[in-house]
Amino acid sequence: MTRKPWGLLSLFLLAPAPSIWGQAFTGTITGVITDPNAAAIPGATVRARNEATNDVRTVTSTAEGLYVFSQLPPGVYEVSAETKGFRKTVQTGAVLRVNQTLELNIVLQLGEVTQVVEVTTGVTLLDTQTANRAVTLDQQAVLDLPVNARNPFQLVHVNAGVIAVRTGISQATQDQNHNRFSMNGGRGQAGLRLIDGVPAAAVDWGGLIASPSVDSVQEVNIQRNQFDAQFGKSDGTAVNMITRGGSNEFHGSLFEFLRNSQLDANSWANNRSNLRRPVFQRHQMGGTFSGPVWKSKRLFFFTAYEGRREGNPGTNVSNVPTALQKSGDFSQTFNNDGSPAIIYNPFTTRANPAGAGFIRDPFPGNRIPANLFDPVGAKIVSFFPNPNTTGDPLTNARNFAAAGKTVTTNDRLDVRIDWAKSEKITFFGRVTKAWQKNTAPVFFGNGADTNFSDVNPRHHVVLGSTWTPTPTWVVNVLVGSGRWRENQVSPSQGRNATELGFPQSLVSQFQAATFPNVTAQGYASLFNRRFLNVPRETHNVQVNVTKEIGSHSLKFGWMTEVARLNNTDFNTPQFNFTRGLTAGPVAAIASTTSGDAIASLLLGTGASGSAPIAAATAVTAGYPGA
């Protein structure tokens, strides 16, 4: 369990109000109200209105003319100021980014309050209020930048100093592979990954639990260096991703991205093996719909769906035993130089009467009698597919070729509700649900393939509320929960190893209901032995409070996180066969001219093996901070 220090400096941070920090997923608008002579105007009424939802917040300027709107949701705001003896001034188009403190000073002109001065402002590119270094990608940039896998976390790579050492820019379809990056020389996955202010990474190696779709993202804030005490559990970097909400008007969109194999060239490996170009189709389709649920009550919704249907082509070129070899006949088995690969009987191994070491006798005619077959070994050999190409001259290597594709079926749904109940209290809730599945191609069949399919159901839920009991108090509460289950499906999953001839008394000690993995030197391997089922959960609660005291701002908060991991990662045994135990005439472990691994397998003379026993761990990690 990891705990953050609870120091007074982390608990209470006192600073001049113009330097107030924004919360993890909100922002702050602050400034000074002055007259044309730059004198402060106290007691002015200042309002901030969200132009999309008409959510209004009202404060009064202090004796120094200062006003602060803290913990505002990112968006476009209209800020107005008015007081007796001055014209009302309205500034529109003030764009507030996540975790930004926007300085917006207002100069009131002499006149009647019924007279209105309108000012149009724009994006403030330079943050003059904090020491944090950040880059923000707005909604249009998120939609316009090319993202091959359409995961918004890939957009982090547009920033300087970002690198993914282990995976590069991942082209995988699973969310957990898209936050495996580091910034400014930090360790991989050591920064914060926040969605709507809530951490969204798993507890063990830091894989992303769930990501919203590209079309559901309002902005991505990439903080290369941040110094706020509220950011714990980080190497100094953070990615804040804010999702879109609804507005006063109905909006919708549809999209379709298509790639088809008719526009692709065949692969070199396929051409060499006289295989046709495999069918490849990638469909990415979806849409968004948003608007008011109850406009007069300021209740809004946003929904987005994205689907992905894809087939990734692949070719398997392998060495498999011939029909003669499966029957024990190695009379047509040759080395690269055309010499026969003599098979020696390991059961005739004896001390060399002419000197040191041991010798063996060859099988007559280079054929193994059927009565010497090991029943398990012979059954395993029968799972090899038959050759379907001529293979190389003499050695007959690369005598099997098959083309297939990995089929990806992904569906993702985002739903968000926003409710501005009053000027004092607002609510929002978001659910991201994704079903991700990759189905591996079948080359050998009958459960003999060594590849695997995977299933990754996941969800992430955030509930938030902002309460302003007085103009000088702002309280924000966030509750988040996420779960991702990683499941690897072996082609032989659910099969009982008694099908291979193993006795039930032995099979009952295997941890996984899969066939054991079998490797034969110089030939394709058989069976994927792994059973993986790992649910990961992260639950988070946080409270952020801001109090304005004169020309100062007091900010404090508390959070706690509970992460759970149930790790089931089991394997059946692995058996390795080489040509060494059927090599000769001098008994040797390794040989390049005699013996054959399939002969060793038929005889049941293995070279090595392992039978792992893994613990099924259930871990809970707590993380409180203030």
Distance from C-alpha of 34 to C-alpha of 237, rounded to nearest angstrom: 37
Percent of the chain scoring above 70 in pLDDT: 92
Average pLDDT on 253-275 reads 86
Asked if residue 160 and residue 68 are part of one domain, the reply reads no
* CB-neighbour burial class of residue 547 (10 A; exposed 0-12, middle 13-18, buried 19+): middle
Q: Are residues 40 and 76 in the same domain?
A: yes
In this structure, of 167-176, 188-197, 543-552, 581-590, the range with the lowest mean pLDDT score is: 167-176
User: Where does the pLDDT of residue 229 fall: very low under 50, low under 70, confident under 90, or very high at 90 and above?
Assistant: low
Q: Are residues 210 and 147 in the same domain?
A: yes
Query: Closest Cα partner for 582 from 362, 284, 269?
Result: 362
- Type of residue numbered 241: M
Q: Does the bond joining 585 to the residue before it have cis omega, within 30 degrees of 0?
A: yes
CATH number where 220 lies: 2.170.130.10
Whole-model pTM: value is: 0.81
d(CA 580, CA 205): 40
156 and 236 co-located in one domain: yes
- Mean pLDDT, to the nearest integer, of 20-38? 77
SS3 content of the chain, % helix, strand, coil (to 5): 10, 45, 45
Residue 233 lies in a domain: yes
In a domain, 153, yes or no: yes
Residues 433 and 80: their CA atoms lie apart, in Å, by 40
Lowest mean per-residue pLDDT among 300-314, 360-374, 540-554, 604-618? 540-554
Q: Which of 86-90, 111-115, 327-331 has the lowest mean pLDDT?
A: 111-115
Please calculate the CA angle 98-99-102 and round it to the nearest 5 degrees: 90
Is pLDDT above 50 for 3? no
98 lies in the same domain as 45: yes
* 43 and 114 fall within a common domain: yes
Domain termination residue (choose one: 243, 270, 286): 243
Q: pLDDT band at 10, cuts 50/70/90?
A: very low
pLDDT at 227 over 80: no
Determine, yes or no, domain membership for 424: no
Question: CA separation (Å) from 54 to 95, 246, 533?
Answer: 15, 11, 47
159 close to 224: Cβ distance less than 8 angstroms: yes
Helices and strands (H, E) in the chain, number of each type: 7, 33
Contact 207, 199 (CB under 8 A): no
Whole-angstrom distance, CA of residue 24 vs CA of residue 622: 20
Residue 568 one-letter amino acid: T
β-strand pairing of 56-60 with 45-50: antiparallel
Residue 170: band (very low, low, confident or very high) from pLDDT cuts 50, 70, 90: confident
Question: Can you tell me whether residue 22 is helix, strand or coil?
Answer: coil
What CA–CA distance (Å, rounded) separates 444 from 526? 9
Domain contains 383 = yes
Q: Which of 368, 273, 390 is nearest to 322 (CA)?
A: 390
**Does the pLDDT at position 468 exceed 50?**
yes
pLDDT for 129-165, tens place per residue? 555 556 788 788 888 888 877 888 888 887 777 877 7
Q: What is the distance in angstroms between the CA of the first residue and the CA of the last residue of the chain?
A: 16
Tally of domains within the chain? 3
Question: Do 83 and 30 share a structural domain?
Answer: yes
Question: What is the mean predicted confidence (pLDDT) over 397-418?
Answer: 94
Query: In whole angstroms, how far apart are CA 508 and each of 142, 504, 514?
Result: 53, 6, 12
Last residue of a domain, one of 94, 120, 146: 120
Residue 114 and residue 139 in one domain: no
Same domain, 116 and 211: no
Is residue 235 situated within a structural domain? yes
Q: Are residues 78 and 144 in the same domain?
A: no
Q: How far is Cα 198 from Cα 98, in angstroms, rounded to an integer? A: 13
Mean pLDDT of 330-340: 94
Helices marked H in 93-184: 139-144
What average pLDDT does this structure show over 108-124?
A: 74
Three-state secondary-structure class, residue 495: coil
Residue after which a domain boundary falls, among 91, 120, 149: 120
pLDDT at 225: 67
Structure tokens at 158: 């547009």
**Cα gap 322→516, rounded to integer Å:** 22
How open is the CA angle 419-25-152, to the nearest 5 degrees? 100
Average pLDDT of the chain to the nearest whole number: 87
Q: Are the CB atoms for 181 and 246 separated by under 8 Å?
A: no
Instruction: Report how far residue 600's alpha carbon sits from residue 325's, in angstroms, rounded to the nearest whole number.
Output: 11
| DSSP H helices in 418-554 | 504-507
Please tell me the predicted confidence (pLDDT) of residue 9: 35
Flag whether pLDDT at 616 surpasses 80.
yes
**153-178 b/e (C-beta count within 10 Å ≥ 16 → b):** bbbbbebeebebeeeebbeebbbbbb
Tell me: do 154 and 206 sit in the same domain: yes
Shared-domain flag, residues 113 and 146? no
What is the pLDDT, as a whole number, of residue 433?
97
Side chain identity at 333, as an amino acid letter? T
- Coil/strand/helix, residue 478: strand
Is 287 part of any domain?
Answer: no
CA contacts within 13 A on the Cβ side of 47: 16
Q: Is residue 80 part of a domain?
A: yes
Structural domain containing residue 388: 323-398+576-603
Other Cβ atoms less than 10 A from the Cβ of 555: the count is 23
pLDDT tens-digit readout, 493-516: 999 999 999 999 999 999 999 999
The residue-averaged pLDDT of 385-391 equals: 93
- DSSP label of 205: S
Contacts of 129 (CB under 8 A, 6+ apart): 18, 19, 20, 28, 30, 101, 102, 103
Give the CATH number, domain containing residue 108.
2.60.40.1120
Residue with tokens 């009131």, as numbered in its chain: 108
Paired residues of 544 in beta bridges: 476, 557
> What is the maximum span of the chain, computed from C-alpha positions, in angstroms?
120
Share of the chain above pLDDT 90, in %: 58
Tell whether 165 is covered by a domain.
Answer: yes
Query: How many other C-beta atoms can be found within 10 angstroms of the C-beta atom of residue 613?
Result: 9
Structure tokens at 421: 């109940």
The C-alpha atoms of residue 571 and residue 513 are separated, in whole angstroms, by 9
- Which run of H or E residues covers position 122? none
Residue 39, amino acid: A
The one-letter amino acid at 570? F
> How many Å apart are CA 236 and CA 536, to the nearest integer?
25
